[in-house]
Amino acid sequence: MSYIFIPNRLYRMPTHFGPSQGPRQGEAGRTFACVHSHQTTTYSVSFLTERRQLDALLPPGFETAGEPVVTLEAGYITQIEWLAGRGYNILGVQWPARFTGARDVAEGPFLAVLWENLADPIMTGREELGYAKIYGELPEPRVLDGVAHIQAGWLGFTFFEMKVWDLQPLPPAEAAPAPAGAPGVLRGVLHYKYIPKTEEWGAADVAYATLTPEGNSQRVVQEAWAGAGWAQFRRARWEDLPTQSHIVNALAGLEIKEFRGATLVKSYGSKDLSDQRILR
């Protein structure tokens, strides 16, 4: 006799061994409060670019909102509860966008791609939430004489470099100012979930926008600094990055008109992202 799916429990492949475990469902179905989980150090650098270049990278229903400023964030996360105290590192690329659908209007940073150096958060974030996550080698920052050197690579090929320096302390409240939202407009991090359809290559099984709503987070900023920064993506041959060269080269092709500064933020706490929703 084959197995049956337990109602109201989360599954992902392989389903044959029972409900899955991850950030939104632990052993025996328990959840995680994320109050002290996620000790995070985040470096960011922003730059002004051409709006038309960003619009060309947006999926249906999206447009660039406000100034075309790209923010590159490298995060180093430890003491994650759903990983039993382990951690992983991330590198994200985002810019301000607006989604207009038949029902919903939403604004916030559009997360175009998020590299992570561990398979578990990649799988759970892609399948369950619609985050555009892929694998990358993300070593810890190297800091010398007040300059933080950050790199990202894939199987030995370094495709990204970032430097942050001249950091000056900021009041924690200034680290992440909350923009005012218009009435009826949802706010949060914007994503586009896409899963190809088996057998019908080129067709989608799933294709829709998703939103990580603002709020409902246990995140507390402990310390914050602002300073200067520089970053660049390195163009790659297909032989260098056989599955990612089109991504890296598109980002390397963005015009950098001017850099808009850098930040370093240390925080703790998070949320399990179970409030993720589909935008229609």
Q: Please list the pLDDT of the chain residue by residue as tens digits (280 residues).
A: 899 999 999 999 999 999 999 999 999 889 999 998 899 999 999 999 999 999 999 999 999 999 999 999 999 999 999 999 999 999 999 999 999 999 999 999 999 999 999 999 999 999 999 999 999 999 999 999 999 999 999 999 999 999 999 999 998 666 655 555 678 899 999 999 999 999 999 999 999 999 999 998 999 999 999 999 999 999 999 999 999 999 999 999 999 999 999 999 999 999 999 999 999 9
3 state DSSP class of 85: coil
Supply the DSSP string of 69-81, one letter for each residue.
EEEEEEEEEE--G
The domain ranges of the chain are 19-171+218-265
Whether omega for the bond prior to residue 14 falls within 30 degrees of 0, making it cis, is: yes
**What's 19-171+218-265's CATH class?**
mainly beta
* Residue 108 contacts residue 6 (beta carbons within 8 Å): no
- Strand bridging mode 142-144 / 133-135: unpaired
How far is the C-alpha of 80 from the C-alpha of 207, rounded, in Å?
30
Report angle CA 143, 257, 236 to the nearest 5 degrees: 65
